[in-house]
Chain A
Amino acid sequence: MAHAFRLDGHDHELWLSRSGSVYQVHVGDTCVPATLTARGAHVHELTVRDISERVVIACRGDDVHVHLDGETYLLRYSHSLERFAGQATDEAEAIARAPMPGAVISIAVESGASVRRGQALLIIESMKMETTITAPCDGTVQTLHLHVGQTFDSDAALVTLERLKEAP
């Protein structure tokens, strides 16, 4: 069965087989003979087509962090369900998300307030700059997920809006 790893936004399908002590990594029409030998904490010797080099690897959940020849890469195991499922979206809701990690400086709206598309919802601070987060659509403020002073990571939900129903 083919598996896939995501690198820089692209899924790469592969499957693995074994003959003797050497594994074969099948990528498209290419078959790559490879072995990986532990040489210390996180340090391995990767041999691909008889050429060996030092590689540092850290796995966490589905993430495989790799340091190879001076560059760092992140590969993430793609679960087939996620790969093939369409983007599930809730039509009734719209969420203003954080474009980057930061902290909330001030909140301009209250829960239950009706807002117009583009209206300021809150001001965040990141990279020593203030950024105004605006409403992605017309609607009603359903949930304010954060309070002033709170920090958040990239893509965190900041404000959930209930979309304004189209006039019938």
Chain B
Amino acid sequence: MRHEWPFGSVLIANRGEIALRIVRSVQRLGLRAVVVYHAIDAGAPAVARADQSIEIHGSTPVAAYLDGTQIIAAAARAGAGAIHPGYGFLSENAGFARACREAGLVFVGPAPEVIEKMGDKVTARAFVARGGFPVAPSAIEDDDPGSFIERARAVGFPLLIKPAAGGGGKGMRIVRDPALLASEIERARSEGQRYFGDGRLYAEVFVENPRHIEVQVLGDAHGNVVHLHERECSVQRRFQKIVEETPSPALTPDLRREICAAAAGIARNANYTNAGTVEFIYGDGKFYFLEMNTRLQVEHPVTEQVLGIDLVEQQLRVAAGEPLAFKQDDLQPHGHAIELRIYAEDAARGYLPTTGAILVLQEPQGVGVRVDSGIRAGQDVSAAFDPMLAKLIVHAPTRDAAIALGRQALHDYVLLGCKTNIGFLARLLGHPAFAAGEIHTGFLDAHPEVAAEPIVEPAILHKLLAVAALTSRPLRDAADAVPALHAAIGAWRN
């Protein structure tokens, strides 16, 4: 059956690995892929792979990708009928979704009203609590700004302060010392204002060593909502995920059914359409609603691997008005999938971002190995964007087999020229506590040896020095000259 798309071209308002990943799905469905790019990304793989690329400008590279007006104008110029926002940037910006609609463009995501309701942490929490789903003790600034500090103090310490409009760990601060509450609130407000144009805050109890478990949901415009099972994303640094997997090693079958049903229920209550993720904090056998991400997640590939579904394709089909092609019972996961985020950063130095030119890139391949990458050899890694370079996703029948496959793939992953966390990820997968599934959001603080740079053994040092010496022209020339000199002396003696 041939499907008639209401749009022939899709503009991808993003960059890096996710832009390339969306371009691939768009083209596979017989649609034209248009990307926008800042000059700094002119050599990126997504730009080379797209059917059309339009340069956008901004005071900083990030500002260009946040300029909705410019991007909508680019869509009009390219004749695109739909805009896929990817994740980050404009993906959870209700104003942008509305501007797309007003410009006659299909926004590949939920309706702006739903983004507003579920994307704002404060209104989302209230909405979820009203539906009878569990939420954590908290203080909301908007309820009464004058008493916010006192109410935050009453929630207790340690306390987590977050921007009401936030996501991705931006602007979040843990406060352990009550004396620092006021100054930390001001800092969080400034960051919220800058990142989201919204300085409103809320505070909630900070659960020590919780697990982060989230559930993928998908709804269509005909009232159907399904969940696509859970992902565990507990291994984090600075509130940002590093490793995600499905299924969660923590959940019993009963708890899994309960948490997935809660997520689908929340999405159904919200009349949610398109792909979204309901995030929960889980600890001591209890879970409560954390937030909803009204967009595609970075870690969506693990769900795709165990279900054999292309989520971007599903997003495009829902956006085109199609009903979901499957029912809840059709979605039976197979095996275990793990995603490892490849970051340009130095784990041993506090996960500081690194920069450099990518001189050599050899990505791992093989059965069960998937690399979603936004880089190529010759490209410069700059500090202008998030340091994520690529994602390695492995899929195997069991968790143990997936860990083994991941370790092998990391071993084969060659990226020279810019320090990355590949060695760190290999140490993490090899850690006994990780293998045992004993993970929580404080895992890396509890196991600092994972981030530490290993000592170089003398045997390895000698090999490295041999490589350095043998690739150094002056050293090699000097060594080569010595036998020649002997030969000359020999001739002279004659």
Residue positions of A touching B, CB distance < 8 A? 1, 3, 5, 7-8, 12, 14-19, 23, 25, 27, 30, 32, 34-36, 42, 44, 46, 48, 55-60, 64-75, 77, 99-103, 105, 126-130, 149, 151-154
18 A-B pairs within 8 Å (CB atoms) are namely A3-B469, A5-B468, A7-B456, A14-B465, A23-B476, A27-B462, A30-B462, A35-B470, A46-B463, A58-B360, A64-B472, A68-B460, A73-B464, A75-B467, A77-B468, A101-B383, A130-B190, A154-B355
Q: Are A59 and B471 in contact (CB under 8 A)?
A: yes
Asked whether any CB of chain A lies closer than 8 Å to the CB of B410, the reply is yes
B 313-357 binary contact with A (CB < 8 Å = 1; else 0): 000000000000000000000000000000000000001111101
Q: How far is the CA of A97 from the CA of B438 in the complex (A)?
A: 40
**Apart from A34-B466, A66-B468, A129-B191, what are 20 other A-B pairs with CB-CB below 8 Å?**
A16-B470, A17-B482, A23-B476, A34-B463, A36-B470, A48-B463, A56-B414, A57-B416, A64-B471, A64-B472, A69-B411, A75-B464, A101-B354, A102-B353, A127-B351, A128-B168, A128-B171, A130-B190, A130-B191, A154-B352
The smallest C-beta distance from A112 to any residue of chain B, in angstroms, reads 26
With A57-B467, A58-B360, A151-B384 known as contacts, the answer to whether A16 contacts B353 (CB < 8 A) is no
A31 → B minimal CB distance (Å): 10
A46, A69, A129, A151: the one within 8 Å of B467 (CB): A46
Please, how many angstroms separate the alpha-carbon atoms of A142 and B59 in the complex?
26
The verdict on A16 contacting B469 (CB below 8 Å), with A27-B462, A72-B423, A128-B168 known, is yes
**Beta-carbon nearest neighbor of B472 in chain A:** A77
Q: Mark B298-319, 1 if CB is under 8 A from A, else 0.
A: 0000000000000000000000
A2 CA / B468 CA spacing, docked (Å): 13
Q: Verify if B170 is at the interface (C-beta below 8 Å from A).
A: yes
Give the residue name and chain of the A residue nearest to B420 (CB): A72
Q: How many residues of B contact A (CB 8 A)?
A: 61
B124 within 8 A of A: no
B359 within 8 A of A: yes
Bound-state CA distance A101–B387 (Å) is 11
Alpha-carbon separation in the docked complex, A21 to B240 (Å): 52
B10 within 8 A of A: no
- Which residue of the partner chain, among B187, B384, B456, contacts A8 with CB atoms under 8 Å? B456
Whether A149 lies near B59 (C-beta < 8 A) is yes
Residues in A whose Cβ lies below 8 Å from that of B416: 42, 56-58, 65-67, 72
Instruction: Decide yes or no: A58 and B470 within 8 Å by CB, A17-B479, A127-B352 being known contacts.
Output: no
Task: Check B352 against A27 for contact (C-beta < 8 Å).
Answer: no
- Tell me the minimal C-beta distance from B494 to chain A in angstroms: 22
Are A153's CB and B355's CB within 8 A? yes
Contact pick for A128, options B170, B352, B426, CB 8 Å = B170
Contact of B475 among A3, A32, A67, A71 (CB under 8 A): A3
Please report the C-alpha to C-alpha distance between residue A31 and residue B471 in the assembled complex, in whole angstroms.
Answer: 18
Chain A residues with CB below 8 A from B479, complex form: 16-18, 23
Most buried by B among A23, A44, A59, A70: A70
* Closest A residue by C-beta to B172: A128
Assess whether A126 is in contact with B468, with CB atoms less than 8 Å apart: no
A103 close to B469 (CB less than 8 A): no
User: Is A36's CB under 8 angstroms from B420's CB?
Assistant: no
Q: Does B480 belong to the interface (CB within 8 Å)?
A: yes
In the complex, A148 Cα to B476 Cα: how many Å?
A: 48
Q: Which of B195, B453, B466 contacts A32 (CB 8 A)?
A: B466
A64 touching B466 by the CB < 8 A rule?
Answer: no
Pairwise interchain contact B60-A151, C-beta atoms closer than 8 A: yes
Across-interface contacts of A60 in B (CB, < 8 A): 357, 359, 417
A44 to B466, CA, bound (A): 12
Question: How many angstroms between the C-alpha atoms of A129 and B479 in the bound complex?
Answer: 51
Report B441-480 CB contacts with A as 1/0, cut-off 8 Å: 0000000000001101000111111111111101110111
Cα-based distance from A101 to B352 in the complex (angstroms) = 8
B480 and chain A: residue at smallest CB distance: A18
Bound Cα distance A7, B453 (Å) = 12
Task: Decide yes or no whether B101 CB sits under 8 A from chain A.
Answer: no
Bound Cα distance from A35 to B472, whole angstroms: 13
Contacts of A25 on B, CB cut-off 8 Å? 462, 465-466, 469-470
> How would residues 400 to 437 of chain B score, 1 for a CB under 8 Å from any chain A CB and 0 otherwise?
00000000001110111101101100100000000000
Residues of B within 8 A of A66 (CB): 416, 464, 467-468
Question: Could you tell me the distance in whole angstroms from the C-beta of B172 to the nearest C-beta in chain A?
Answer: 9
Per-residue CB contact flags for chain B residues 136-177 toward chain A (1 = under 8 Å, else 0) read 000000000000000000000000000000001111000000
Q: Across the interface, do A105 and B463 meet the contact criterion of CB distance under 8 Å?
A: no
Contact of A127 among B190, B238, B460, B471 (CB under 8 A): B238
Asked if A153 meets B475 with Cβ closer than 8 Å, knowing A18-B483, A127-B353, the reply is no
Decide if B362 is an interface residue (CB 8 Å cutoff): yes
A30 vs B462: C-alpha distance when bound (angstroms): 9
Contact partner of B456 among A35, A48, A70, A73, CB < 8 A? Answer: A73
Q: Would you call B28 an interface residue if the criterion is a C-beta within 8 Å of the partner chain's C-beta atoms?
A: no
Q: Which partner residue on chain B sits nearest A19 by CB separation? A: B483
Least Cβ–Cβ distance between B377 and chain A, in angstroms? 9
Specify which chain A residues have a CB less than 8 angstroms from the CB of B456 in the assembled complex. Answer: 7-8, 73
Q: Is B466 a contact of A46 with CB atoms below 8 Å?
A: yes
Most chain A beta-carbon neighbours within 10 Å: one of B60, B169, B351, B470: B470
User: Quick one: given A64-B471, A67-B416, are A32 and B360 in contact (CB under 8 Å)?
Assistant: no
**Bound Cα distance from A45 to B274, whole angstroms:** 51
Q: For A15, A69, A101, A154, which residue has the most chain B Cβ atoms within 10 angstroms?
A: A101
Q: How far is the CA of A32 from the CA of B463 in the complex (A)?
A: 8
| Contact in complex: A65, B417 (CB < 8 Å) | yes
Residues of A within 8 A of B483 (CB): 18-19
